[in-house]
Structure 1
């Protein structure tokens, strides 16, 4: 097995269910997967700019109210391969499946922070802390052998409605090693890099985390920036993920002899925004039809309706369309804030290949068309 170990499922397997089975959930690591064997001695330290730092055991965390949050985690580099076909980028060559939708179980971070005297909905601790830094057991070369770390604003961490969890369960089972056993952070609505696995420490700090993956990676630059003129300090760390969708029922190039074909996939947006529409075109974007959207069985999906939707989770879509003679099928999503995916990857190309949210395109050819073209 390679270190670091990174893997994604096949497209079709990814959308076989609303909640992604653990075996189909993408794996993203920056170093060797750590082993935490002695759960009795395992503790999470909570300190920094607080008046009463503590250490918390798993038993103590389990005594806090348990919450279940269904949330999609997505690597910032999802769909990087398509971006790299335009111009070379640096990073793991993900297809369209570097994401997954799971039900996470654990304690809300807002409850945990009350143990060190930080009230819910706080924007600053009594000692001036404005960010919450998560530090992992994981060690990685980018941190020169130090731990992986990331941070979020204190106002987000202390807001119960943000649903930030210290999770010890995934899909009603104990977290496995690949996904952060025994404890990980889940920060819904933002890029997966902020949901730190194998949690070791939580520090309340004055400024955002100065770690490599906050300050020298996972930032969005314009297409004009390359490795010769990049200045990392000119951009903020990426947090929310833009609106995104991808076709998973089809590969990049497909040949069929059927008259109809099913176009199915996922759509998701950051910040808890719902999916208002998924548009499908079978003629390269000249005309469009609206796909069916769904999450829970027998409950119509309504964007931003708490009774009808899981706001942190992806939305699946499906449409049955006529097969074009020799054409391009496109999917694009619109979220509840009317944000729409950009048409072309060129306009959002960046040297790290993150946030490729351009229209997703696949080619479909009728078998008869292929036969004629070969004569």
Structure 2
């Protein structure tokens, strides 16, 4: 079940708890079945970071070929085996005030509540972790620049469903409340993946959090939460719970491990001997981010003219207002052209793709290409990863650098 723990640093920890070895003469118990045997097939172009559970990203050069990422190339982030859910018997449990509860079928979600569509970018908290590992080792999957994707999602607004269950629009009151989500993906003890978001995120006026059953105009794929998942615009991917089974409102965050003891940022001074996960807030909105998808690191480009492509996105609905690109390591800059759907101020839930075509300096043997983005609040990416290093390798958003060689083909 926890195949992702089959790593040297985990085995080293477990070695301290070893009590002995089974005698080869002892009758062996039947091997348990592979809990991942029922996982769906995946596109062969994906770059796999772990097989069990399955985690993979598309090649960077494919990521920005389309504004909306094709479903089969959308990055995959699973924590447990993909559950097989029967749509006919599926029920979403929504716990209402005063102990009341709803049990909604997929058909009821589609017929009782207006369908709402929104284009949203999802980004893993560990996107670009590999670069942070170059500063100091971190623990986590070695994501490149493509643990981020964009889709057009369709479904019922969470706000409408919670109102139907008896909850009111966000009000000024003492104590913050949270909307907690529980998935149908469970480990062998029965514990499910879970997460939560602030009540105001779900129930604020005009909130666009979705209980999504469509992705890019198609039925949700199994890897992306079939038959129902949460989509929280502007928020880290870890809160977009897939295979949604239960929704509740609580005075406290979800008790899930992934809400309380993971997906949090810390000072570079904190290590695994001193970390206390209770001292840091759970990541919700993500910082400004951009990356180069073309050319690839280490590529050889011809002299003359060079085209550089990439993406930029910021959390919390903050639109991207500018992407700066440098061909000389940050000494001089040019402004890239932004493309993509126009978005309302404060509701820029999706990325902007960008492109710059510039002359290659004459007699130049190599280029140090750099990009940095600026959002509507004038937040800008830090120039290096060292000051933002953290032991989990999350929130990696330093200037992205790609070095290439200049030579005739």
Common fold: TM-score over 0.5:
yes
- Distance in 2 separating the partners of 1:82 and 1:312: 25
Q: C-alpha displacement at 1:121, in angstroms?
A: 3.1
Query: Is residue 76–residue 355 contact of structure 1 (8 Å, CA) maintained in 2?
Result: yes
Aligned to 1:207: 252
- 5+ long unaligned stretches in structure 1: none
Cross-structure match for 2:353: 316
The alignment status of 1:163 with 2:163, answered yes or no, reads: no
Q: How does 1:169-318 map to 2 (within 5 A)?
A: 169-296=214-341, 301=342, 304-305=344-345, 311-318=348-355
For 2:231 and 2:129, locate their aligned partners in 1 and report how far apart those are by CA, in whole Å: 23
**TM-score relative to the length of structure 1:** 0.91
Q: 1:348 aligns with which of 358, 379, 388?
A: 388
Secondary structure (helix, strand or coil) at the match of 1:112 reads helix
1:45-103 deviation line (CA, Å, top 9, x unaligned): 11165452111111111011000010000000000111111111111111000011000
Structure 1 residue 153: Cα displacement: 1.2
Change (3 A) 1:237 1:181: same
Alignment of 1:1-375 (within 5 A): 2-37=51-86, 39-47=87-95, 49-63=97-111, 64-122=113-171, 130-140=177-187, 145-296=190-341, 301=342, 304-305=344-345, 311-324=348-361, 325=364, 326-367=366-407
- Give secondary structure in 2 for the equivalent of 1:92: coil
Q: How far does residue 231 in structure 1 lie from its aligned partner after superposition?
A: 0.8
CA contact (8 A) 2:229 2:243 kept: yes
Instruction: Measure how far apart 1:181 and its partner are.
Output: 0.1
Q: Which runs of 5+ in 2 are unaligned?
A: 1-35, 37-50
1-side partners of 2:71 and 2:59: how far apart? 14
| Secondary structure of the corresponding residue to residue 299 of structure 2 | strand
Instruction: Name which one, 1 or 2, has greater alpha-carbon Rg.
Output: 2
Q: CA deviation at 1:155?
A: 1.4
Higher RCO (C-alpha under 8 Å, 6+ residues apart): 1
Distance in structure 1 (CA, Å) of the matches to 2:120 and 2:329: 32
* Alignment deviations for residues 311-343 of structure 1 (CA, whole Å, 9 cap, x no partner): 100000000022352231100000000000000
What's the CA shift for 1:257? 2.1
Q: Distance in 1 between matches of 2:345 and 2:266?
A: 34
8 Å CA contact 1:49–1:129 kept in 2: the answer is: no
Partner secondary structure for residue 77 of structure 2: coil
Q: What's the offset of the Cα at 1:162?
A: 2.7
| SS of aligned partner of 1:71 | strand
Tell me, yes or no, if the aligned pair for 2:318 and 2:345 is still in contact at 8 Å.
Answer: no
Q: With the length of structure 2 as denominator, give the TM-score of the two structures.
A: 0.83
The question of whether the paired residues in 2 share the 8 Å contact of 1:180 and 1:197 is answered with yes
Structure 1 position 282, deviation (Å): 0.8
Structure 1 distance, partners of 2:309, 2:407, is 21
Q: Is the 8 A contact 2:290 2:371 kept in 1?
A: yes
Structure 1 runs of 4+ aligned residues shifted over 6 Å read none
| Deviation string, structure 1 residues 172-216 (Cα, Å, up to 9, x no partner) | 000010000000000110110000000000111111112111111
- How far the C-alpha of 1:261 sits from its partner, in A, is 1.1
Relative to structure 1, is the Cα distance of residues 295 and 57 closer, same or farther in structure 2, using a 3 angstrom cutoff? same
Aligned residues: 356
- Could you tell me how far apart the structure 2 residues matched to 1:273 and 1:349 are? 24
Q: CA deviation at 1:304?
A: 4.6
